[in-house]
Amino acid sequence: MSSYIIQGGTKLEGKIKISGSKNASLPILAASILNAGTTKLYNVPNIHDTQKMLEILEFLGCKVKKKENKIIIDSSNIKKHEIPEHLMREMRSSVVLAGSLLGKYKTATFSYPGGCDIGARPIDLHLKSFEKLGININENYGKIECKCDKIVGTKINLDFPSVGATENTILAACLAEGVTTISNAAREPEIIDLQNFLNKMGAKIQGAGTNTIEITGVKQLKNVDYNIMPDRIEAGTFLVAGAATGGNIIIDNISWTCIEPIINKLEEANCKLKIEKNSIELQAPKRLKAVDIKTMPYPGFPTDMQSVFAACMTIAKGTSVIVENIFENRYKYAQELKRMGAKITTEGRTAIIKGTKKLQGATVRATDLRGGAALVIAGMVAHGITEIEEIHYILRGYEKFEQKLSNLGAKIYIK
């Protein structure tokens, strides 16, 4: 198992380009199943999760060609409609393959997905939507068999605006008979990217980005090429890393509109931000001011930035209160930050962080993707050396992470 070794104490300075979005790429890769021809994708991040998604597509019968961030998928010869358990367990997003398989072949067999351990992650809302679309579901010892003769459009109201359930419902409904309306849909920008991709492929979807999405079923989809949107969580992570290290960085290839809540919190913490059309410059203050955070569905503060922001609050002036409203167990990293001298206590969904002047390098363990990124930030501001074990979690979601940080001046190596 690899570790990161970080020598703390350097300010991040310079410019980096944000990669393609992980959370947009995964459902779009899965959506290629709906197309019986060729899908060409650009700007797909080369990370563990996208590699695993491509492996599953190949297992199902797709032909995949890959050159750096360009992926070509030929899905004209899919023979299998069952995803084996060991592949489902690789990541949470494997579940969106069900919507695509059902949309195209009216059958899909899978098991409960894996992913980062950040609390119970049920898929009841996904299955409820499938049932509403007329799909029969049979669950046997953890194996979920979904089947129907045809999918007929209907009205679906999600109990919670789940990102995955919204995406799965769109995918299952694209080739349905009639119109499907999803109310209380998730509004995340990645859903707009999925809609834009599917529409370019010939689907008829409108409303993504609002809480009502309407999908008018079409008979067939066509060959498509598409450029994946930039990763707003990667952008936020680098901005916070710049802020925590007292740095001055420019992130390129990102629109401020999709990271507005992160920008607002950084400004509240006394950072100066210069916003251009496709880039953002951050100048950190001498010392950050503590601010409070509550995670919410988009356009609220993203849960994926909660741990990352907490890392910079450990050295801020004052006390911050963080409330995690999306996942029930997203504070595992707090224990690790404490080893570095952070004054952080958690109780249920709340964390209280008393800012201290310095952190001390230590050996810590990444507990999940974003918790791992938080430790990297803490390592860069700490005195001395930090070793972060189990970085495979971090590599799930950040492309060339250590390389990009090194380019900004960080002293970070893989051991």
Which residues form the interface with ligand UD1 (CB under 6 A)?
23, 26, 92-93, 121-126, 160, 162-165, 186, 190, 303-304, 326-327
Cα atoms found within 13 Å of the Cα of residue 286, Cβ hemisphere only: 0
Nearer to ligand UD1, 55 or 276 (CB): 55
Q: How far is the CB of 121 from ligand UD1 (least distance, A)?
A: 5
Q: How far is the CB of 300 from ligand UD1 (least distance, A)?
A: 10
Round to whole Å and give the CA distance between 349 and 324.
Answer: 5
Residue showing tokens 């803490």: 378
Q: How far is the CB of 64 from ligand UD1 (least distance, A)?
A: 19
Q: How far is the CB of 261 from ligand UD1 (least distance, A)?
A: 12
Nearer to ligand UD1, 6 or 233 (CB): 233
**Which of 62, 116, 174, 258 does the annotation list as catalytic?**
116
Round to whole Å and give the CA distance between 385 and 252.
Answer: 30
Round to whole Å and give the CA distance between 73 and 56.
Answer: 12
Give the pairing of strands 385-389 and 343-347.
unpaired
Round to whole Å and give the CA distance between 313 and 327.
Answer: 20
Cβ proximity of 263 and 29 under 8 Å = no
What would the two tokens of residue 88 be? Answer: 């489902």
Nearer to ligand UD1, 133 or 381 (CB): 133
Q: Is 62 known to be catalytic?
A: no
Beta bridge partners of 108: 146
**DSSP calls for 151-165:** -B--EEE-SS--HHH
Nearer to ligand UD1, 340 or 374 (CB): 374
Closest CA to 278 of 262, 250, 249, 254: 254
Round to whole Å and give the CA distance between 358 and 386.
Answer: 13
CB atoms near residue 179 (< 10 Å): 15
Please give the DSSP secondary-structure letter assigned to residue 400.
T
Round to whole Å and give the CA distance between 109 and 94.
Answer: 12
Is the link from the previous residue into 299 a cis peptide, with omega within 30 of 0?
yes
Nearer to ligand UD1, 160 or 413 (CB): 160
Closest CA to 94 of 118, 107, 111, 81: 111
Nearer to ligand UD1, 326 or 394 (CB): 326
Nearer to ligand UD1, 12 or 96 (CB): 96
Which are the catalytic amino acids?
Answer: 116
